[in-house]
Amino acid sequence: MPDTTETTGPGHRPDPQPGAPTRPEQLSVYERIKAMILSNQIPPDTKVNIDKLARQLSVSQTPVREAVQRLEGDKLVARRQPRGYWTTPLLNAHELRHMFEVRLLLEPWTARAAATDRTANPGQDLLDEVDRFIQAYGQHEHGYELASHDVAFHDALFESVGNRFLSDAYRQIHAHLHLFRLYPADLNGEQTVAEHRRIAEAVLAADPAAAEQAMRDHLFAAMRRFSLGFTADSAHGFPEIRSTVVRRN
């Protein structure tokens, strides 16, 4: 049964025009709760109160429970018996490093592979996604929308390669990518979008080496931004990942 908000009554508004920013009340219950988690309205490692959310969203408890079950699949919440659901905690510094080590194995290769096939080249679609985000949100702070754009961009790249095992491996770390959007760096997306554009342009130009390096540069820059979320003490011991250029014959 799909989880939807009520669509009748004085509070109902028509669907937004394509490309327009979406108001919270126009989202499904699942998307609204997800946005609350990703925007830190429901902080990490916090009990999810089903009754309170139902009252806050003006819906019954049923769609809220269904939404929370979906969010458990997204690894944004976890069940703790017998205390119910809690939002998942953020990664620590070592876990962040391990996540980026996996991304560095998967994503530069994916960008390179996507840039070699002109008949299914996703470059224009990637550029369109970048332009869509800029036109919709400009330079304003939209942490949740930036997280959604980031996933849409990387998803499109992975899907273009057509390797189901690769896509499945990437989806396992989606929740962690979302969660780290809570950290206060590049909230308006200026740096992220500029890096995405360089990747997209290299893919569209069918330049595998440039696409691979642009993705590698993006990942190291993203890791540095995410590391700002740690305290001074933890940052002091933050494991270093050295940026290296991988040369291929």
Tens of pLDDT along the chain (249 residues)? Answer: 444 333 333 333 333 333 344 444 457 999 899 888 877 789 888 999 999 999 999 999 999 999 999 998 878 899 988 779 999 887 788 888 888 999 999 999 999 999 988 788 999 999 999 999 988 876 665 667 787 788 889 999 999 999 989 888 887 776 666 665 555 566 667 889 999 999 999 999 999 999 999 999 999 998 888 877 665 444 444 444 444 433 333
CA distance 126 to 114: 11
Neighbours of 152 (CB within 10 A): 16
**pLDDT value at residue 185:** 61
CA distance 171 to 69: 17
Retrieve residue 3's tokens. Answer: 């989880």
Q: Does residue 67 sit in helix, strand or coil?
A: helix
Eight-class DSSP state of 121: -
Residue indicated by tokens 């332009």: 131
**pLDDT value at residue 53:** 96
H or E segment to which residue 38 belongs: helix 29-38
Neighbouring residues of 19: CB distance < 8 A, sequence distance ≥ 6: 132, 135, 136
**pLDDT value at residue 229:** 67
**pLDDT value at residue 177:** 62
Q: What is the separation of C-alpha 40 from the centre of its chain, rounded to a whole number of angstroms?
A: 14
**pLDDT value at residue 183:** 58
**pLDDT value at residue 197:** 97
Radius of gyration, CA atoms only, the chain? 19
Cis amide bond preceding 82, omega within 30: yes
**pLDDT value at residue 120:** 86
Cβ pair 149, 248 in contact under 8 A: no
**pLDDT value at residue 126:** 97
CA distance 166 to 226: 24
CA distance 157 to 113: 9
Of the candidates 134, 141, 174, the residue with the CA atom closest to the CA atom of residue 158: 174
**pLDDT value at residue 157:** 94
36-to-40, 57, 110, 138, 144 alpha-carbon distances in Å: 6, 11, 31, 21, 9
**pLDDT value at residue 179:** 60
**pLDDT value at residue 40:** 78
